Every structure is written in C-alpha cells, then in structure tokens.
Amino acid sequence: MKLEDRLVTLQKQNPKLAVLDALRRLRAASVAEQEVNSLPFARKNGRHANFLAELELESWYPALAAKFCGAVAAAGIENDALREIRKNKSLVLELGRAITQNSVGTLDSTAKNFKIDRALLLFVFETPLIPAFKEIALKNKNALPKEGKCPVCGRPLSLGVYKDRKRYLLCKLCGARYHVDLFWCPKCGNRDAGKLGFIFLEDEPEFRIDYCFLCNTYIKAADEDIIGAVDDPLLFDIATLDLDALAREKKLNLPGE
C-alpha cells in the first residue's frame, strides 16, 4: 500500500494523526518556500563540521523561525506559547543554536517555562534549519552514520528502505540517505544475522520492523521496489505509526532512546 493511502486508513482509526499530518504539510510548504541560495552557508564549500559552525544563524534564522511559528499558530495547533516565544528573538536564536548543536538543555527549559510540548517545540524550531541540513547532506554524500545517528544533523536514524536488494537508512529531519549493510544494527553495530530479527506485516509485507536481539533497538523499514521512492521520510514515519505500536508491544526501542 502507498504511504498516502496508509495514512488515510490510519487516520480513520486515530484522529490525532490529523494534527501530525497538518504539521507535516506546514513543514513541507515552509521548506519548499525557502530560498537556500540566498543564505550564507549555501555559498560555502567544505566539510559539514565547518558548515554547522558557519551557518550564521543570527542573520536569517530568527525571522524564518518566527514566520513558521506564525504558520503553526495560524493553523490553530499551538497559539499562546508559540506567540510568546516568537516575540523573544534572542530565545529564538538560542533555540536554533541548541538544535544545530544537539544540546537539549535549552529545549527542555523552554518547553517547561512556556508549558509547551517538547516534541512540538523541537518540530517548530528545527523546521527552518532543514534546508541548511539538506544542503550540508548534499555536500557530504559519503558521510557514514555513527552510533545510529545522522552525521549531518545528528538525529537518530529510525527509518530504513530496501531497494534493489540494498538497504538504506533515512534521516527523518534532513532527508539524507545512507547505504548500509543488510545485516547491521545502527545502534550497537551488531552484524550477526542470527541476532537480527524482522517482523513483517502480514497483509503488507512491504512494511516491516528490523530489530536487534542484542540492544532491543528497532527501525521501521519499507520496500521501495513495491511502494515506490520514499521522498518524504516524515510521511513514512507518520503513515507507519502502527508499526511503532507493534514494536512497543515487543518492548523494542528506537535508536536514540
């Protein structure tokens, strides 16, 4: 089944998914609208380690972040907290810096102080950074994931696809794609095929859970030869939330947990 069709089916069972899908659409629109070439990092060459330091967030990030906050609030998803946060430009910049540096303290304290869901806070403030991360991913195609994390943006890699008998991990945030071994746990590095498990959905074997017996980590995987190219990892993630529920029943955890 195609991801879009799966999402429609899942949404009938779980109306809360409509909010996640609305956020996904807002993000896609915001990312499509950004003119990457006008931003300072787009003109630079070199390794991604330098790019992160040279993003020059202060010159562009607060305005884009405030704009996206406004779009989310206008959609009625969160109003008061985001309205307060977007007024505070130095806090907005601090959030952007915290996200590029993967430091959790600022996010945790802001979520607490403004009584906003931490996942929503992260979602809103990481969105303006996506074109920058995508640019970095393009310039660092040969980077390899380390300890289950995306080497570009640092997010745990929790999605996989199979295509032409090859396996790739997808980054949910920056969209980077990494060719990895068929038998390999992204969390602990286990390569013993006897200690790696697969749970296929009975009616839809094109969707599965890949998991590791050693560290109990799972990722969700899809067969691109059947469902077509997964262009939007976030759609993949939301349209397969039933697989997460299944994995939780088996006491499995995502990388990064």
Closest among 194, 176, 195, 254 to 220, alpha carbons compared: 254
Q: Which one-letter amino acid corresponds to residue 158?
A: S
Task: Characterize the bridge pairing of strands 218-223 and 159-163.
Answer: parallel
110 vs 190, beta carbon nearer Zn ion: 190
Site for Zn ion contains 254 (CB under 5 A)? no
Site for Zn ion contains 187 (CB under 5 A)? yes
Alpha helices of the chain — where are they, by DSSP H? Answer: 3-13, 17-33, 48-53, 61-74, 80-87, 89-100, 105-113, 118-126, 130-139, 224-227, 233-238, 241-249
Site for Zn ion contains 170 (CB under 5 A)? no
As a whole number of angstroms, the distance between CA 132 and CA 153 comes to: 10
Based on C-alpha coordinates, what's the Rg of the chain? 19
- Which residue stretch of 21-29, 41-49, 120-128, 166-174 sits at the interface with Zn ion (rule: CB under 5 A)? 166-174
CB-CB contact of 167 with 160 (8 Å): yes
201 vs 214, beta carbon nearer Zn ion: 214
Site for Zn ion contains 239 (CB under 5 A)? no
List C-alpha distances in Å: 66 to 126, 160, 178, 211: 12, 32, 32, 39
Site for Zn ion contains 209 (CB under 5 A)? no
In the list 57, 92, 136, 215, the residue contacting Zn ion (rule: CB under 5 A) is 215
- Which residue stretch of 73-81, 172-180, 194-202, 242-250 sits at the interface with Zn ion (rule: CB under 5 A)? 172-180
Site for Zn ion contains 188 (CB under 5 A)? yes
Q: Number of residues in contact with Zn ion, rule: CB under 5 A?
A: 15
72 vs 219, beta carbon nearer Zn ion: 219
Cβ 113 to Zn ion shortest distance, Å? 28
Q: Residues with Cβ < 8 Å from 179, sequence gap 6 or more?
A: 166, 167, 168
116 vs 254, beta carbon nearer Zn ion: 254
- Which residue stretch of 23-31, 74-82, 92-100, 181-189 sits at the interface with Zn ion (rule: CB under 5 A)? 181-189
- Which residue stretch of 27-35, 104-112, 141-149, 151-159 sits at the interface with Zn ion (rule: CB under 5 A)? 151-159
Where does this chain bind Zn ion (CB under 5 A)? 150, 152-153, 171, 173-174, 176, 185, 187-188, 190, 212, 214-215, 217
